[in-house]
Each structure stands twice: as structure tokens, then as C-alpha cells.
Structure 1
């Protein structure tokens, strides 16, 4: 399955949600109880920057941007990361995964695409934006996540998976694998 188009789709999904953040929403809670909107976006910017630097052979510096400045930091990080994804000559080379194990660059790419999409959902819920996603994107990510769940979702970084009935939709199942309740609402 070709990874790059799915990654571009995930970038578009996050991009539309970050542009929906109102000035007063940067401190709003998110489905991840440890993060507000600002910390969530800073995390995403830093992850995307690290991937672009890893593929490009350079070092990335964590972003210190806050609030609305994160929109510009996101634009730069996502552009660099898309360029890095498009320039990969061999997806089969070994790459370190954030979980401390070694996988392939392709596995890392799928993990980053999944992470980006899940955080786009987090952001959508936090700022009351649309939380609908393209079926092909969610279907592909669910397939990859089911195959790699144990390698990707380490207990110290993610809430435990939530059991779901067998007849649930793909987005609900994908979110449940990462410990998220599809029906979470900001209080």
C-alpha cells in the first residue's frame, strides 16, 4: 500500500483542524488529559520536524512557539515532513521507532501518519471542529495499527485500549486502540 498519499491526507486533516483553533481555544482540554490544545499542537509540530530531520540527515530543535505562532510552526514542519516523505528512496531501511525498537522507515511512516490522524481527531474534539475523516485514510490506518499495535502503543505513553463491539466503525476502532473514547466531549 502506498504510504505517501495517506500521509498527505493526514496532513490535510490536521491542517484543517489547526486552522479552526480560535484564540481562546489554545488552552482548551483535549482527549489526552495531560495536554491542552497548545501542548498537543507543539507535540505534533515536534514529531513532524524530527521525522523531516531524520530523513534529511539533520537535527531538529524542539519548537518553543505558543498559541497562534504554532500555526506557522506547523506549516513549516508539515511542509518539511511532506517533502521528506516524498523524497524517501527506500522505505525498507531500518529506522528507530519511538517505542525504542527498530522497524523500517515504512513502519515509522505509518506510525507517524496514524499519530497525526489521531491527533487531528483530538484537536477536532477539543475545538469543536469536524471529526469526520476520509474512509480510505481511516481504513488503511486501522489495518496498519492492528498489525503493529503492540509495537506502537507502549503502555507508558498511551491509555489502555478500549474494547469495542465487533460491529463498530473504523474510526471508533482506531481511536479505541489508542485508548480514546470516540464520543469524548470537552467539559
Structure 2
């Protein structure tokens, strides 16, 4: 699975879970300890809002605090759909992976940025499913592809606030279970 395809599948996985949130589930807790379901969806909406700006060449300073507020409003599903569609459209540009983008840590290749976005969509699709009692099974090819991205980087992320410490899983665990465990979740 190539990166753009993986991003699309990850976005679809997250989108499917957002559409399953019942009106009384927005304040439920998530595996992201300090986030409710609403906070988790708000985080992903925030990220999607940044993608078109950064892929268009804007710097963090140019974007400023434009998205530093409640981006979900009264209809979180609509907010998600609109932000996700704009982000996906930006990633589908034929030059999207051949750029450099400005992120909070500096300038990086857009392919690395896309991997980060894909990882976040995939793991948070699982988080959201766990929170609302939806199907936790991710697309197996997506889980395998994202695992291949994560495994060589997980040691670099140790001690950061990105993920909790890895959770041990069975040596014969499937790729999704290994991915979720590496990212500090209890499968």
C-alpha cells in the first residue's frame, strides 16, 4: 500500500467511527487519557485544517492562531467532514509528496508529514472505536503499512509526550495488535 493510499484508508477508518458517534457519547473518555471523544475528534479536525495551508506553502507563523478555537461548533460531524475533505483534496494533488512543509518542529518533507497524519488517523480511529464501542478492527493492510512506519521510529519517540510507553503483546500478535501495543494502547 503506497502512502497516499494508506492516508486515504486511514482517513476512511477514522471517518467511519466519527459517523458512529451517538449524541450521548461525545463526553466519553478515550484511551488518550485527558481527551473526551469530542476532544479527540477536535484534535483530528484541527490537524486536517492545517494540511491544506501547510501543503500550499504557508508557515506556522502565516497560519497563526486561525485554528486555535473550538473547530467543532454545534455539528462536529459536519466540521469533521468539511475539514477532512479539504485535507484529502490537498494530499491528492500530484505534487503533494514532493514538497517541504513547515511544522512546529521545523521544515520537513511532505511525505514525512503525510506519514504522521496517516499514523494519527489510524491510531485515533482505533481510540475512537474503543471509546464508543464500535468495531476496533482496522484495515489489515493499513495496520501493516503503518506498523512498518512506526517500528523503526518508536525508540526515538520514547520519553516524548507523543505516545505512552509500548505495551507488551504476544509475539505472534497480528500487525494491528503490535501497532496498538507499540503506541502505548492496551489491545
TM-score (norm 2): 0.86
1:72 — aligned with what?
Answer: 78
Residue segments in structure 1 that go unaligned for 5+ positions in a row: 183-187
Q: How many residues align?
A: 181
2:30 — aligned with what?
Answer: 30
Q: Return the match for 1:180 from 155, 180, 185.
A: 185
- The answer on whether the counterparts of 2:46 and 2:71 sit within 8 Å (CA) in structure 1 is no
1:146 equivalent in alignment to 2:148:
no
Let me know the Cα RMSD of the aligned residues: 2.2
Evaluate the alpha carbon distance shift between residue 24 and residue 18 of structure 1 in structure 2; reply closer, same or farther with a 3 A threshold: same
1:49 — aligned with what?
Answer: 49
- The answer on whether the counterparts of 1:26 and 1:67 sit within 8 Å (CA) in structure 2 is no
Q: Deviations over 1:118-154 (max 9, x none)?
A: 0011111111111111111111110011123245566
Deviation at 1:174, TM superposition (A): 0.7
Q: Return the match for 1:82 from 88, 91, 99.
A: 88
Residue segments in structure 2 that go unaligned for 5+ positions in a row: none
Q: Deviations over 1:32-91 (max 9, x none)?
A: 111010000000100111122111235352451447611111101110111111115152
TM-score (norm 1): 0.86
Q: Return the match for 1:170 from 165, 168, 175.
A: 175
